[in-house]
Amino acid sequence: MPGDIPAVSKVVERSLGENYAPSLYMTVHNLWPEGLLVLESESGIIGFVASVISGPKVARVLMLAVDPDHRGRSGGTMLMDALYSNCIARGLDTVVLEVRKSNARARSFYERRGFKVTGEIKCFYTNGEDADKMSRSLVN
């Protein structure tokens, strides 16, 4: 993981407009290594998902991003499918996440993959924007 941080940071900066300290990725990785997955192409890392275990049977996605030049080619789907497998192997049965209310594309991406809005969090993001809370069961 440490060697992947520069490439992951680049994807995050290009996709989410955020520039996090490298230690953040190591902290998330150390909490649950199987919850942090990268997507690679011949040109290197082009996407990643970062998640933590946030309840006895719950995984929480903190970040999902695919580089803008590589979207629409199932990379996001593959990352989420791989995460579901790791959740099930770990005995988790639910995946939750937050998404910006303005992020219509991500929201429909999640809705088409079985996520439902379960609530909202006011002023969740640093710019004051609200988040929708979404959840998906991994059973039945």
Ligand X SMILES: CC(C)(COP(=O)(O)OP(=O)(O)OC[C@H]1O[C@@H](n2cnc3c(N)ncnc32)[C@H](O)[C@@H]1OP(=O)(O)O)[C@@H](O)C(=O)NCCC(=O)NCCS
> Encoding tokens for residue 55?
């309840």
- Say which DSSP state 122 is in: T
**Alpha-helix residue ranges (DSSP H) falling in 32-131:** 75-89, 104-111
30 part of the interface to ligand X, by CB under 6 A: no
Complex with ligand X: residue 37 or 65, whichever CB lies closer: 65
- Residue of 58, 106, 117, 138 interacting with ligand X (CB under 6 A): 106
> Encoding tokens for residue 105?
């594309």
- The count of chain residues that interact with ligand X, using the rule CB under 6 A, is 19
Which among 26-34, 50-58, 72-80, 86-94 is the span making contact with ligand X, rule CB under 6 A? 72-80
Render 22-34 in DSSP notation, one character per residue.
HHHHHHHHHH-GG
Complex with ligand X: residue 56 or 108, whichever CB lies closer: 108
Q: Shortest distance, CB of residue 97 to ligand X, whole angstroms?
A: 6
Kindly list the distances between the CA atom of residue 81 and the CA atoms of 10, 69, 75, 108, 128, in Å, as whole numbers in the listed order: 23, 21, 10, 16, 31
Complex with ligand X: residue 32 or 47, whichever CB lies closer: 47
51 part of the interface to ligand X, by CB under 6 A: no
Q: Which helix (H) or strand (E) holds 136?
A: strand 131-137
Contacting residues toward ligand X, per CB under 6 A: 15-16, 64-66, 71-77, 97, 99, 103, 105-106, 109, 112
